[in-house]
Amino acid sequence: MLWAVGFALFALVVVGTLAFDLGANPYDHITRSFHERFGWPLWVSRLTFDAVILILAFLVGGAWGAGTIAILVLMPLALAVATPRVRAWVHASDASEGHVSDVQ
């Protein structure tokens, strides 16, 4: 149960930074770069990058386990489901009249 709450908070922060255009951290910026450069869906670029990192970690003897695999699979799914919805919700107010940014 605690793991699920932790994952939900982690996913919320990642989706929030991408949807609110707050700027991605270096890790998320790499997946965004693949998304923009090659036209891959964001979840595919995240899954691919995470899988490559996991394979490299395994090859050099790094620690991994069930939580690592769960994040590898669940985070791209969270991005695929939540990012478009949150982005649409956040940026829907940009089209409204009297927006704060319109005040000079």
Q: What is the 3-state secondary structure (H, E, C) of the chain?
A: CHHHHHHHHHHHHHHHHHHCCCCCCHHHHHHHHHHHHHCCCHHHHHHHHHHHHHHHHHHCCCCCCHHHHHHHHHHHHHHHHHHHHHHHHHHHHHHCCCCHHHCC
**Is 16 among the domain residues?**
no
pLDDT digits (tens, 9 = 90+) for 25-76: 788 888 888 888 999 888 899 899 999 999 999 999 998 888 889 889 998 9
**Is 48 among the domain residues?**
yes
pTM (whole model) above 0.75: no
Range of the domain at 39: 25-87
**Is 98 among the domain residues?**
no
**Is 57 among the domain residues?**
yes
The pLDDT of residue 102 is: 40
Q: How many domains does the chain have?
A: 1
**Is 70 among the domain residues?**
yes
**Is 3 among the domain residues?**
no
